[in-house]
Homo-oligomer: A and B are copies of this chain.
Amino acid sequence: MILLKQLLLLSFVLPFAYAEPPLIVQINQPQLDKVDAEAHCTSWRVAVEANNLSPWKTVPEECRDYVREYMSGRGYLHDLQRVADETVSYARSVELNGDGKLAWVFDVDETLLSNLPYYTQHGYGSEIFDGGKFDEWVEMGMAPAIESSLKVYEEVLNLGFKVILLTGRSERYRGVTVENLFQSGFRDWGMLILRSSEDHGKTAMMYKSEKRIEVEQEGYEIVGNSGDQWSDLLGSSMSKRSFKLPNPMYYIP
């Protein structure tokens, strides 16, 4: 009986297929294009996360929709959660001897605090970065915590690591940054290092490397480092292990 129904259905549908081929094409084409764009832009995103790309200024035009969907959908949250799980698992495996000299470095933007409310209004990285507008957003001190990172932060803190916040934000935003971090649930860090006047003009990698060297000179051993940019993680005095949080919206050298 089902077979008969299916044959009847087929005999009914087939004439459509042959009579109006453009209609069939119109139905299938966007799906095919979407699959291709998805594969192409996933490849681009993997290259971002593996640090294979030359410095880039905006999300490639053909990947704008892809990045918007990734950032506003489950993809970003899924990837954040995976990094968080790996981080906690590693942090717990480190033997702490109680001397308080094992340090964990966290970047701030897109690592502890999320600027997604800003980027949602600015094309998710598809617009050229506007420093003035972004600074206005920073000054509001409204960036929410990345939930999975807040849990990592609390775990790292409770395990007994010295928590060091190392951000590319300028020293003049110390007040608002402290307040924003507090209001988003981040407490009890050991140091908060911001860019002072002599650090301006340095690449993030250079500035952060220098600061890690200073941290080591103070007697700390950096065993973990979490950041959304490779310039948070590479350079001198690199951490024993690094955790690269996802970020397909912007690139900082």
Contacts and interface: CB of A to CB of B under 8 A. Distances in A.
Contact of A46 (B2, B8, B46, B54): B46
State the copy count for this chain: 2
Interface in A1-47: 2, 5, 8-9, 12-13, 16, 20, 23, 39-40, 42-47
A77 B83 CA distance: 26
A78 B35 CA distance: 14
Contacts of A20: 2
Given A9-B16, A78-B40, A78-B43, A52 B2 contact: no
Contacts of A82: 43-44, 47, 52
B12 A50 contact: no
A251 interface: no
Contacts of A8: 12
Contacts of A244: 50-52
Contact of A79 (B47, B51, B54): B47
Please give me the 8 A-B residue pairs with the lowest Cβ-Cβ distance, nearest first.
A49-B50, A50-B244, A43-B78, A52-B86, A43-B79, A46-B49, A47-B82, A52-B83
Given A2-B20, A43-B79, 6 more contacts: A42-B42, A43-B75, A43-B78, A45-B46, A50-B50, A52-B83
Interface of A: 2, 5, 8-9, 12-13, 16, 20, 23, 39-40, 42-47, 49-54, 74-75, 78-79, 82-83, 86, 89-90, 234, 238, 242-244, 246
